[in-house]
Amino acid sequence: MAVPASTPIGEAQALLNDPNGVSYTTAKLIPLLNKAYRELQTKLQKAGQSTAKEVSSDITVVAGTTSLADGGQLPADLLYPINLYEQINSEFIRMQEKFWEPIIDQTTRLQYWNWREDEIKLVGATVDVVIRIRYMKGLAPLIDGTSPLLILNCTTFLAARTAAIAALVIGENPTRAGALNDDATTAWEDLKMTQVKQRQSMPVRRRTNRYRR
């Protein structure tokens, strides 16, 4: 069962010597907790640890389209794509990822893609093509104390980091903020090691190396 946001909020209040939440109320801490939550997602991604994977619904790429960007047809929660598949007859075929989109004439297939400038770049096709995207997604914002935390073992980091931000921007106490940030750094190192060990304990299927061209 997921830990609710109220848990790190309660711990943050305790770290701020305000266990009853008189000065550091839940309403004041929720935006700061969301900032710490986003920071943690970024840290995990940089460390090669996934937070959540998703598959898009079917997306129709209109003939001649050479890029998909935010605000258009990309899923709103997409952080970055993993694989793309195009529909050929009734089957979805995996497209090839390239460093750069090849300079070739358009056909009835898309075939190739790359992720550049926060957009999916395509060669384009002469007809409409339906695709699906497997991607890493951002976690939904925390709305209130009942919102679930979808990262395992994250409470200690979130409590310390949230308290550090609150000490700085609400309490205007940079000394305490610095000490709490030190606690958050220690908690992050512990969390990172835990995530690594969990991944190492998962069974994996050996595969041959894949080289990009």
pLDDT confidence of residue 132 = 97
Per-residue pLDDT tens for 48-85? 776 678 899 999 999 999 999 876 789 988 888 999 99
Q: Mean pLDDT across the chain, nearest whole number?
A: 89
Binned at pLDDT 50, 70 and 90, residue 196 comes out as low
Domain boundaries of the chain, sorted by first residue = 3-49+140-196, 53-137
Binned at pLDDT 50, 70 and 90, residue 154 comes out as very high
Global confidence as pTM:
0.65
- Alpha-helix runs per DSSP H in the chain: 6-15, 26-46, 155-169, 174-201
d(CA 37, CA 25) in angstroms, rounded, equals 18
Q: Higher-confidence residue: 136 or 167?
A: 167
Residue 210 reports pLDDT greater than 60: no
Do 50 and 136 contact (CB within 8 A), yes or no?
A: yes
